[in-house]
Chain A
Amino acid sequence: MKAQASVEEQTATKTGADLLVEALIEQDVETLFGYPGGAVLPIYDAIYRAEGSFDHVLPRHEQGAIHAAEGYARVSGRAGVVIGTSGPGATNLVTGIADAMMDSIPLVIFTGQVAKGVIGTDAFQESDIMGITTPITKHNYQVQEIEELPRVVKEAFHIATTGRPGPVVVDIPKDISSTVYAKDVNNQFHLPGYQPTMKPNPLQISKLHDALVEAKKPVVLAGSGVIHAGASEELRTFVRNYKLPVTTTLLGLGSYPGSDELSLGMAGMHGTYSANMALYECDLLINIGSRFDDRLTGNLKHFAPNAKVAHVDIDPAEIGKNIPTQIPIVSDAKAALESLNGKPVKELHHKGWMEAISQNKVDYPLWHDQPDADIVPQWLLQKVYEYTKGEAIVTTDVGQHQMWAAQYYHFDEPNRWVTSGGLGTMGYGFPAAIGAQLADMDATCVAVVGDGGFQMTLQELSVLQERRLPVKILIVNNQALGMVRQWQEKFYSERYSQSIIDTQPDFVKLAESYQVPGYKIETQDQLLDVLPGVLQDDQPAVIDCRVLQKENVYPMIAPGKGLHEMIGVKR
């Protein structure tokens, strides 16, 4: 794809910060997530002058800002925009930048920097954010001259949102943003080193089509690349044309309807038995937009051992990185699927296979115990699914609650599932829900969080209070770092080192102190009383739901084991 080039001439007297604000307006930025500070004061002054040009959301910690921007990007499909000041402002963004990098979330992050003259002197609030973020960004810039600012902003948005999306950092020294600049500014850009391959090689598509026609045990693995490419419709057409079984990755949930009969559910460490066995036994694996993460594959030796592997990915470096690939297709998922769908639909000879793996769904379903009054988390998530009719935006942190949400909430549409996949970030879910809600004010937005993760970013309750955003925070409260506890139980002989959290705040009072309604739920009846009403009203809420501490996430592939060695499978 050729970079868009245009010339914009500006003649009035402006500061660098004004040029930045104009560049953001040109990019149609609607929402900014940021936190002011010394090095970005000129930028905040320009934002003040440009009042009304965009909505600025003030979190109470920079980590809140960047996770909110991630949630916003995931739901809106647009770049999330973040501003942080130099030094601690910038370093507080690092977790979110790394998170966005791992999950291919388009973000443009502006960090303030000390003035050019004192860079490198360990000046007040100076940090080498270029050095710090180089390994965790798709690209980063430090603006050296005021006239390059508009071009750099344009490039940053282009790089963040095209190809494989990702975070781009633009570091702006304070003197650049404060200096007045009166000359014409040219924002034309040309990036010869960045030309993502969008269209698939037709020969490779034919090879894939041939392999499909020959296959006896085909399976489709859909990753978040399908969602990023907006290719869910094309995926449905492809899958239904050939009646193929589909499994998705954690981040690919919603790329294909989870409640559809051809869906086997999520694969991987806590995936369904039917999905994992399909991956284990298949003879053709069509991976569209997944990077074969180790939480998906388990032991590589036992991952699709007898399959021909076709891999569609926009990032050529992902193809063959973990799994040898026979049919590599470097392409945008949408273009690849369109081109596949253009081929004549042939009848496949995989009826026996389809029946066998569909029977697995019936024979080895997800299961959990059901006590009389106490709440098990699986049941809780089932109820959330029922009451929201599967239409909510669900955000999570990392851990047990995340896996239960992935297992028991069936996403039928893309961009409804916002979770920290690759980096596995605690504290992600709640701020991400703020961004997600801002991106879609009509949606019911449920932040499913653990009692551990919520305590990492709960200061963002201030934003709910301020904005009256109707985010529902569902604390799956087992008074433990659940997944750590589970691993200690299974693999560390029940030595619960630092994973049980007996001392907790009163979450209801905490919520109320932020003027957010709070509910403490301890029994099934209480939940059934409270949850439907809360999910329907237009108020924010904190629901502290006490669940059984000893509940574990099953089924599971233990570390080092293969797809076919799941434990906790019940017939």
Chain B
Amino acid sequence: MRRIVTAIVHNRSGVLNRVTGLLAKRQFNIESISVGRTETEGVSKMTFVVEVEDDRKLEQLTKQLNKQIDVLKVSDITDKAIVARELAMVKVISNPQIRNEIQGIIEPFRASIIDVSKESVTVQVTGKSDKVDALIELLRPYGIKELARTGLTAFTRGHQPQVAEFKSYSLLK
């Protein structure tokens, strides 16, 4: 099953290595990782998308992450109300004749063209991963010269609907 797990970490050198090394050592399959600073100085947030077999594996993943000294909090937010976004940049082969056609394709996705050359345009799209996937598939027939994705970053919405039971693996509460 695919899970979205966030980890709040101390922004120290080697932390990313520590965390990815841990996941690799314990055979967790990482689909994507994104890392960036947070509102608090010295504190960063990592968002992982991981594929785990079952709940026990997931529990092991969060517990092992929590054991790291530089990890402050781990949350599996998959089942919560979340805002999750990914950014992708796609360089598509396009001569001036079909530029408008591409413009038409990307519009419903609220993507934008951020660079134009004689042979290509670069499209920027943000959104959930499946939306990004969908746009890439639509652009693929034109010929993709280059593609870069950031991986998912996410947090919980300000308001959480009342659900009987959330799965929570945080040990710090």
A residues lining the B interface (CB < 8 Å): 130-131, 134-135, 138-139, 142, 144, 159, 191-195, 197, 315-317, 320-321, 324, 330
Contacts and interface: CB of A to CB of B under 8 A. Distances in A.
B63 interface: yes
A197 B172 CA distance: 9
B25 A320 contact: no
B38 to A, nearest CB: 14
A165 B70 CA distance: 17
B171 interface: yes
B14 A194 contact: no
A156 to B, nearest CB: 10
Interface in B32-88: 56, 59-60, 63-64, 66-72
Given A317-B63, A320-B56, A134 B70 contact: no
A191 B172 CA distance: 13
Interface size class of B (residues with CB under 8 A): 20 to 34
A135 B22 CA distance: 7
10 contacts: A134-B14, A134-B21, A138-B69, A139-B68, A139-B69, A142-B14, A192-B72, A315-B67, A316-B67, A317-B63
Contacts of A134: 14, 17-18, 21
Given A134-B14, A135-B25, A193-B69, 13 more contacts: A130-B14, A144-B13, A191-B69, A193-B68, A193-B70, A193-B72, A195-B172, A315-B67, A317-B66, A317-B67, A320-B56, A324-B56, A330-B171
Q: Quick one: which of B10, B63, B171, B172 has the most chain A CB within 10 A?
A: B63
A130 to B, nearest CB: 6
Interface of B: 9-10, 13-14, 17-18, 21-22, 25, 56, 59-60, 63-64, 66-72, 171-172
Contacts of B63: 316-317
Contacts of B17: 131, 134
Contact of B69 (A131, A194, A320, A321): A194
Contacts of A320: 56, 59-60
A360 to B, nearest CB: 33
Contact of B171 (A131, A138, A192, A316): A316
Q: Quick one: which of A142, A144, A159, A194 has the most chain B CB within 10 A?
A: A194
A319 to B, nearest CB: 8
A197 B13 CA distance: 27
Contacts of B171: 197, 316, 330
B10 A193 contact: yes
Nearest to A194: B69
Contact of A317 (B14, B18, B64, B70): B64
Contacts of A139: 68-69
A106 B25 CA distance: 22
Q: Quick one: which of B10, B18, B172 has the most chain A CB within 10 A?
A: B18
Contact of B71 (A193, A316, A317): A193
Which 6 residue pairs of A and B lie closest in terms of their CB atoms, listed nearest first? A317-B63, A139-B69, A193-B72, A194-B69, A135-B25, A317-B64
A317 B68 CA distance: 11
